[in-house]
């Protein structure tokens, strides 16, 4: 699906309205609230309101197009949407009435530039000593968990770790995620995309063991997949990377255990401690040069 095709028909006005934000490299996320106002999140700047507005029919037209392209259901009985915007490969989370008063959405763009750990040092996010420690952890096949809140740059940081693997090893990578956000230029890599209600992340991680991977990477841990990943990381597939939502490094391990307990209870905490070797936590900070900083580093 090309951009000109996407602009045709009833989508013309909405795509014209947000096209500049979709194409602007510094824009990370585009948000539409129910009042029709569009907000954007730019790297290093944070969120700001724009002069752009969308009508309810325009917003709903975009969401229904995404639902069709993503083979998803969007009705009054199922008023939320998780899909992908064609051409840009952007993740879309949407809502229509009665969940909201008027259609709303978040469009999360995939990273347009792969930052390296050296770039994080230059931007003041990590120190040179931390860069060396992280590089050493990757090469020693340590399992690394990257945590933080929404919009803190977990995926972008994970991409920097994957760049080390791609540049300095010949390992085969198996990368599972629901939306193509992780990027890796390793010559031997298999990207597996999950499909909501049809092929889950748990399915993908279970199948990974038949895919001959050296390392298993998961875009975001948010359910019982944590148990399957725990088993894989502890049974001959070390050196993985995953992201997780949490408030600090301690909370990352706690959250991992909570996700495991969606399947079994209690969580095997000794096994979690053995499997997760490094925790890196990021947080937004308007005072930091890059708009975010490393708020926790445990290894």
Q: What is the pLDDT of residues 204-243, one digit of tens each?
A: 999 998 888 999 999 999 999 999 999 999 888 999 999 9
> What's the confidence (pLDDT) of residue 7?
45
Mean pLDDT, residues 89-95 taken together? 92
> What's the confidence (pLDDT) of residue 191?
94
* Count of structural domains, the chain: 2
In angstroms, rounded to a whole number, what is the distance separating the alpha carbons of residues 40 and 52?
A: 10
Q: Do both 156 and 273 map to the same domain? A: yes
Q: Do both 204 and 128 map to the same domain? A: yes
Instruction: For residue 98, say if its preceding peptide bond is cis, omega within 30 degrees of 0.
Output: yes
| Strand ranges, E, within 119-251 | 144-148, 173-177, 189-193, 215-221, 241-245
Share of the chain above pLDDT 70, in %: 95
Q: Do both 50 and 86 map to the same domain? A: yes
> What's the confidence (pLDDT) of residue 225?
93
Q: Do both 89 and 141 map to the same domain? A: no
Domain that holds residue 8: 3-108
Mean pLDDT, residues 257-271 taken together? 95
Q: Do both 190 and 268 map to the same domain? A: yes
More confident of the two residues 195 and 63: 63
Q: Name the domain boundary from 56, 79, 108.
A: 108
Q: Name the domain boundary from 54, 85, 108.
A: 108
Indicate which CATH number applies to the domain containing 248: 3.40.50.300
Mean pLDDT, residues 259-277 taken together? 94
Q: Which residue has the tokens 């038949």?
A: 210
Q: Do both 144 and 272 map to the same domain? A: yes
Q: Name the domain boundary from 76, 108, 140.
A: 108
């Amino acid at each position: 699906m090309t951009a000109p095709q996407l602009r045709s028909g009833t989508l013309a006005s909405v795509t014209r309205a947000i096209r500049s934000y979709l194409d602007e490299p510094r824009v990370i996320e585009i948000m539409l609230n129910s009042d029709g106002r569009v907000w954007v999140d730019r790297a290093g700047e944070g969120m700001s309101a724009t002069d752009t507005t969308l009508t309810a029919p325009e917003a709903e037209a975009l969401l229904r197009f995404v639902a069709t392209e993503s083979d998803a259901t969007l009705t009054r009985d199922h008023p939320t949407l998780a899909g992908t915007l064609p051409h840009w490969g952007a993740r879309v989370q949407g809502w229509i009435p009665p969940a909201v008063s008027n259609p709303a959405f978040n469009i999360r763009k995939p990273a347009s530039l792969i930052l390296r750990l050296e770039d994080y040092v230059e931007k003041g996010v990590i120190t040179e000593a931390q860069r060396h420690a992280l590089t050493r952890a990757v090469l020693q096949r340590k399992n690394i968990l990257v945590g933080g809140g929404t919009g803190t740059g977990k995926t972008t940081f994970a991409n920097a770790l994957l760049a080390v693997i791609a540049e300095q090893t010949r390992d085969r990578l198996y990368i599972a995620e629901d939306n193509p956000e992780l990027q890796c230029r390793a010559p031997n890599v298999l990207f597996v995309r999950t499909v909501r209600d049809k092929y889950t992340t748990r399915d993908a991680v279970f199948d990974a063991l038949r895919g001959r991977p050296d390392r298993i990477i998961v875009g975001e841990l948010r359910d019982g997949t944590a148990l399957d990943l725990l088993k894989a990381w502890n049974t001959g597939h070390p050196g993985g990377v995953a992201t997780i939502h949490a408030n600090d490094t301690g909370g990352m391990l706690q959250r991992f255990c909570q996700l495991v307990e969606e399947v079994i209870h209690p969580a095997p905490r000794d096994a979690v401690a053995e499997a997760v070797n490094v925790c890196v936590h990021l947080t937004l900070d308007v005072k930091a040069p890059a708009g975010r900083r490393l708020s926790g580093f445990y290894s």
